[in-house]
A and B are shown apart, each in its own frame.
Chain A
Amino acid sequence: MTALYPRQGCRADADLGRYLPNAPVAAFLDELRAKRLQRHWCAQRPSVSVVRLRLTSKPGPGIVIFRRKTRSHEADSGVNAAMVAVYKAEVDMADKLHLTFSTTAGDFEDDFPANQPLHAAKRAVMDHLKLDPAKADDFVVTLGGNILDESKALGALGITDGSILIIERRDVTKI
């Protein structure tokens, strides 16, 4: 098994590793081209490969997914396997979403990692707005009137870039 060293936003080693054996590299490359993705490889140090993946439709320097210690006898296969791992990790890679959280105490707009759980983002926003994060459970996050599952990562909730999320009290005022 190839040893991988995930960076922020990458899956755990075990999850990545299960995609590595017998990876269909050629098919991966075709899909990579079809998805208009560019890949960038650079060796920062002789013993370390840095894998970068960049969406061509987005500006920016690319995202470092992980780095891998290479060995001379497995350099090619290791790199190819790493590419597959990058592809498989695409769904939860360290992309960012530009979001606005709105509360009655004010708004907070920023870029949030797509892999950040919503509950963590909510607490960070509440802290920034000087709302007591200890009371986070009293509040829910809604999008389009629907309460979002806070255990999920932002990128897994179908939230699009530029969305406005509402943090509102969970309790209901009785009439």
Chain B
Amino acid sequence: MDPETATAKFTEQPEAAKASAMAVVFGWQFSLDTLVLYVTLRPRRRSELAYLLRIGFDDFPRRAPSFVFVNASSRHPDDAAWPPGVRHGAQPPGICTPGTREFHENYHAGDGQYPWDHARFPLLVPLHEIHRMMERGVGA
């Protein structure tokens, strides 16, 4: 895939997420930095809590985007930045849900049920699921 097509494929992902009514319902706040999208997630019933999700789109769409929670101030990986019940126990740190790089390339690598397909797993799919996991994890 040529770079222009790849860039277009990447660009449409955050745009679709921002335009979705889900972004309103869940109160997602987006911040784009080249090929990295930061999304602030807040549990709807515990809005005093906030978690920053870093979504790396390098090598997209050939590879799934990488999802990790990072420190909201430094934007660097930090164990304390993860909401409870979301982080997978294995290495590398990641989230076990379809649409994340860690799921397709590590936790479920070779799983014929979940081959990576950017059309099947647009950004909204893992983002929505991660928000649900976060709310369950914090008891909200």
Contact = CB atoms under 8 A, between A and B. Distances in A.
A-side interface size class: 10 to 19
A166 B133 contact: no
B22 A166 contact: yes
Interface stretch (B50-58, B70-78, B120-128): B120-128
Tier of interface size on chain B: 20 to 34
B98 to A, nearest CB: 8
Contacts of B96: 173-175
A141 to B, nearest CB: 12
A4 B24 CA distance: 44
Contacts of A173: 96-98, 129, 133
Contacts of A166: 22, 25
22 contacts: A100-B21, A102-B20, A102-B22, A102-B25, A104-B125, A107-B20, A107-B21, A145-B44, A145-B45, A145-B135, A164-B21, A166-B22, A168-B128, A168-B132, A172-B136, A173-B96, A173-B98, A173-B133, A175-B85, A175-B87, A175-B88, A175-B96
The 8 closest A-B pairs by CB, nearest first: A102-B21, A104-B124, A107-B21, A173-B97, A104-B125, A164-B21, A102-B22, A100-B21
Interface of B: 20-22, 24-25, 44-45, 85-89, 95-98, 122, 124-125, 128-129, 132-133, 135-136, 140
